[in-house]
Amino acid sequence: MVQPVASKKTTRLRQMLEGQGLSFLMEAHNGLSAKIVEEAGFQGIWGSGLSISAALGVRDNNEASWTQVLEVVEFMADATTIPILLDGDTGYGNFNSARRLVRKLEQRGIAGVCMEDKIFPKTNSFLRSTAQPLADIEEFAGKIRAAKEAQTDSDFVVVARVEALIAGHGLEEALKRGEAYRKAGADAILIHSKERHADEILAFKKEWGDRLPLVIVPTKYYRTPTDVFREAGFKIVIWANHAMRSAITAMQATVKQIFQDEHLMNVEERVAPLADVFRLQGENELEQAEKAYLPRGGPVARGIVLAAGQGKELGELVTDRPKCMVPIAGKPILGHIMDAYRSAGVRDLIVVRGFAKKTVDITGATYVDNDAYATTSEVASLACAKASLDGPCVVSYGDVLFKKYVLDELLDAEGDFVVAVDSLPADEASANAAAALAKNEPVRRSDWAICSEPHSRKALFNQVVLKDMTTDPTAAGITGEWTGLLKLSTQGAKFVREILDGMPASELETIKVPDLLRRLVRDGMTVRVVYSRGGWLDIDTIGDVVTGSTFK
C-alpha cells in the first residue's frame, strides 16, 4: 500500500525515518539550489553547514552565525515544498542555544535539525578529525533533551550526530554515545565515518540493530553500492555537499574562460539560459499576481505581438531563431518590446510564434503558435490570437522597437481604431525613393500612411484620421510612415474579430495588417492617427541590428 503524502513538511521527514525503504536527502545551500533539488525529484533537502558556509565565503567553523544560517534556510524553505533537515552543527552553544534554535526553525518551516556531539565552535569533521574533542556525553544528551522539549510540533525531527568514529574513538564509544542520545529522546542517529569504505558504518548498524533509525553520509565511502545501505536497513542517505562542489567547478571554468577570452561567445551556450533563472525564481507567478493586483495603468491592458516570421533578410542571424529573438544590446528584440509594453502598464502580453518557436521563450508572455507561418502572412498570425481580441489591446510587430512615449501617445488617444504614424520620413520619402531608383537600387518597402492632414501644430488640436495606406513612396499625399502599432478598443477588437471570422481562407493567408487597415477605412470605420517624430525602429537589415544597439 502506497503511503499517502503528508501535508506537513515535518510529518514527511518523520515518515522517511519511520517508513519502509531507504530515502535520500540532497544538499542545498540557498533558495536557488534548494529549488533545483526539489525539481530533480528528491524527497527532502539537507541544509549543509559546510555548503552554506562556503556559499557565504567563510570556514565551516561557526564563522557564520546561527542567525545568518537561519536566514539562508528560511529562503530555502520559502522556495520549496519538500522538508529540510538542517545541519545545525553543535546547536550553536549549550542547551539553551539548542532549544532556541529549534523554536526558530519551527517558525520558519524547517522540518528538523541535526546536531553533532562536538565542542562549540565546531571544526569540519574531515579537518584534523582525530584532534577534535567531543562533547561530554551527559552534556550533549541534555542538549538533545532540551531540543525535544522545546519543539511545539510533535513531528519535528531532532537527529543526534555521533562523531566518535570520525574522532578515532572506535565502535564501542560510538555505540555508547548513540544509546545515550536515544534515551535523551533523539528521533534518529546520524553515524559518521571518514573511512573510504563502509566497514565502520556497517559494523555500527549490525551492533545497533533497530533501536532508532540510522542516517548516513557516504561522502568518503561513495564507492559503496547504495543497495548495500538499503539491505542493511539504513533509513536516510544524505548526499552532503555535491551541489555546492559542482557549482564551484562550473563557476571556475566559466569565469576563467571569460577572463581569457574577454567575450561571452564561448560560454553563452554552456550556461543556463536566463529563462531558467526566471523560472526557478517564480517569475511566472509574479506576472500573474501583477495582473491580479496591480493597477492596469489605463484602459488597455493587453498587447499582441506578431512574431511568427523568420526574417530571412538577416541571413545567418536567423538560421536557428526568428528575427524577434535576435539580440540587440544583449537582449532579444522581443525582450525590448515586452519591456516597453510593461513600462507603459500593458502587462498581459500574447506573442504569436512560428519559425523556431521553441526558441521564443521569454518569461512573462503567453504564447500562441502559427504553425503555417511559412505560407501565411501577418493577418493569419493575428487570427491565431483571435481569442485575445476580447477587449482593448495593442497590436504590434515582433521586429519593431518603439519607445515608451510613442506607446503612451497611442494609449492616451481615444477611438476604436488608432494607429501611430511617424511624420519624420514623409518629407524625405519621395527624395530617397527617387535617389534609389536613379542608382538602380531597390526601394526599401515601407507602409506609408496617407492621412487627413499632415503633422503640424494645427493637427495637435484636430482629429487626424487615416485615409489610405500605400507601399509606393512616390504616392501623392503621404504624411508619414506607419510604425506598426495599432490600438483597438473593445468594440474595435470585436469588429476585427468579426472580419477575421468572415474572411475566406485564401485571403486570410495573404493579406497584411496595412491591408486590414485599408479595409477598415473602406468600410467607413474611423481610424484615428497619432503622430510622432521618430521613436521607433523597424529591424529589417543587419545595419538596423547595429543601429538598434544605440536605440534608447
Q: Which residues are catalytic?
A: 60
Beta carbons within 8 Å of 458's beta carbon, 6+ residues apart:
none
Distance (Å, rounded) from C-alpha 283 to C-alpha 278? 5
On the 0-12 / 13-18 / 19+ scale of CB atoms within 10 A, 49 is buried
Distance (Å, rounded) from C-alpha 535 to C-alpha 467? 23
What residues form DSSP beta bridges with 450?
Answer: 468, 478
Contact 211, 162 (CB under 8 A): no
Distance (Å, rounded) from C-alpha 125 to C-alpha 118? 10
Single-letter amino acid, residue 10? T
On the 0-12 / 13-18 / 19+ scale of CB atoms within 10 A, 215 is buried
Containing 1, the helix (H) or strand (E) segment is none
Helix/strand/coil for 494: helix
Indicate the length of the chain as a whole number. Answer: 552
Terminal Cα-to-Cα distance of the chain (whole angstroms): 63
User: 185 — alpha (psi -120 to 50), left (phi > 0) or beta?
Assistant: left
Rounded to whole angstroms, the maximal C-alpha distance in the chain is 102
Contact 525, 495 (CB under 8 A): yes
Distance (Å, rounded) from C-alpha 529 to C-alpha 517? 12
